[in-house]
Chain A
Amino acid sequence: MSPEAQDVCRKLDVVNVKGSAVPMPIYTYDCHQTQNFPVLRTPKGSNMPLIKALEQKAKEFTTQTWTTDEDLVQLRHLATREFRIIFEKGLDKYSSGEWKEAKRFFEQASRMMSEGDNGNDGPSETLLQYMMNRNWKPPRDWIGCRPLTTK
């Protein structure tokens, strides 16, 4: 992806997928879905049909779109710079095996997210749960990556 797009994605974890020995970092784009999105309209002063206007907008894609498109910006508005810095710090501590420190950061990140009325932050809670199940002590052979188990 373009650097602009990489900037708006959040690194969540490093996982080991079953059947592959290579640790795989995974990313997400934060989506706040419990909000109202404005109804689609053609731009002011244009008499194009909506579908044509949308097609043209898609054609005019540049990497600037990541910061100018209303939908994309509105979707990620809860993942503020402060929130992402805190989460990143937590992830750093988590991968280096300092789980007690990581706990503090992830709890703070989750709280910041819940202030935006979106419930807690799923990824923070997932990692907190994982660490809690291991009594906040990383395994002896911890290399900063955990096996991905899907229920």
Chain B
Amino acid sequence: MFFLLWYSLLGLDTISDKALIGFLKTIVEVNRDPQVLQYRKDKRFLTSDGTNFVPLRMGFGLHAGWAIEGAVGSLCKVDATYLSPHVNMAARMEAACRQFGVSILMTEKFHEVRASHVWKCLDYCITVILCFSYLTTAHVS
């Protein structure tokens, strides 16, 4: 309980709020930034009847869960990759945006994520780190 309080004081309760705001601001900026809006003047973006421009639309999928992070690629180009069933879920949500005609889709996991869940995730992380360090020490000794 003490940890829950501590994490909510740290602001982890609103961690997903901020993620959502980040994407909402992106959507606003796509429709505001003068440099981005230049495309609307380009003839190639006009609709077939030539009266209107094809709007630039982006879709985002949000989900909460664990993932493993790793670098793939070569020394010339290191590429961070995130792998997990949850990443796939987020990708599915993003794809489903088009079907629903919305810009953002969130799963219930994301909608409900709270400090307690973050704490649980951290708990798993710590367990993994502990197991890992145990293995390395075992190897060294």
**Interface set of A (CB-CB < 8 Å, partner B):** 1-2, 4-6, 9, 12-13, 15, 17-20, 24-31, 33-37, 39-40, 61, 63, 65-66, 69, 71-72, 74-75, 121-123, 125-126, 148, 150-151
Contact = CB atoms under 8 A, between A and B. Distances in A.
Nearest to B89: A17
B108 A24 contact: yes
Interface residues of B, number: 38
B24 A75 contact: yes
Interface stretch (B9-17, B41-49, B69-77, B129-137): B9-17
A-B complex: 6 closest residue pairs judged by Cβ atoms:
A122-B101, A37-B32, A25-B108, A31-B103, A27-B106, A28-B102
Interface in B21-75: 21, 24-25, 27-28, 30-32, 55, 57
Nearest to B106: A27
Contacts, number: 118
A2 B13 contact: yes
